[in-house]
A and B are shown apart, each in its own frame.
Chain A
Amino acid sequence: EPEVTQTPSHQVTQMGQEVILRCVPISNHLYFYWYRQILGQKVEFLVSFYNNEISEKSEIFDDQFSVERPDGSNFTLKIRSTKLEDSAMYFCASCRTWGTNEQYFGPGTRLTVT
Chain B
Amino acid sequence: DQQVKQNSPSLSVQEGRISILNCDYTNSMFDYFLWYKKYPAEGPTFLISISSIKDKNEDGRFTVFLNKSAKHLSLHIVPSQPGDSAVYFCAAPRRTANAGGTSYGKLTFGQGTILTVHP
Q: Which residues of A contact B (CB under 8 A)?
A: 4, 6, 33, 35, 41-45, 48, 55-56, 58, 91, 93, 98-108
Q: Which of B1, B36, B103, B107 has the most CB of A within 10 A?
A: B107
- Judged by a CB distance under 8 angstroms, whether B43 is at the interface is yes
Name the residue on B nearest A9 (C-beta).
B41
Do residues A101 and B43 form an inter-chain contact, with CB atoms below 8 A? no
Query: Which chain A residue lies CB-closest to B42?
Result: A107
A102 near B49 (CB under 8 angstroms)? yes
- Residue contact A105 to B43, C-beta cutoff 8 Å: yes
| Chain B 88-105: CB-based contact to A (< 8 A → 1; otherwise 0) | 010101000000111111
Residues from chain B with a CB closer than 8 A to the CB of A4 are: 43
Contact B43 A33 (CB under 8 A): no
Query: Within 8 Å CB of A105, what residues of B?
Result: 36, 43-45
A6 to chain B, nearest CB (A): 8
Chain A residue at minimum C-beta to C-beta distance from B93: A101
Name the distance in Å between B109's Cβ and chain A's nearest Cβ.
4
Which residues B13-48 have CB closer than 8 A to chain A? 32, 34, 36, 41-46
With a CB–CB cut-off of 8 A, which chain B residues contact A102?
34, 46, 49
17 contacts between A and B (CB under 8 A): A33-B107, A42-B1, A43-B112, A44-B1, A48-B106, A55-B105, A56-B106, A91-B44, A93-B43, A99-B101, A100-B104, A101-B104, A101-B107, A105-B45, A106-B43, A107-B43, A108-B43
Contact assessment for B112 and A42 in the assembled complex, using a CB-CB cutoff below 8 Å? yes
The answer, yes or no, to whether B111 is at the interface (CB within 8 Å) is yes
Kindly state whether residue B85 has any CB partner on chain A within 8 Å.
no
Chain A, residue nearest B45 (CB): A105
Q: How far is the CB of B85 from chain A (nearest CB, A)?
A: 18
Q: Does B108 contact A (CB under 8 A)?
A: yes
A56 to chain B, nearest CB (A): 6
Instruction: Please tell me if the beta carbons of A107 and B49 are within 8 angstroms of each other in the complex.
Output: no
Residues of A within 8 A of B108 (CB): 45
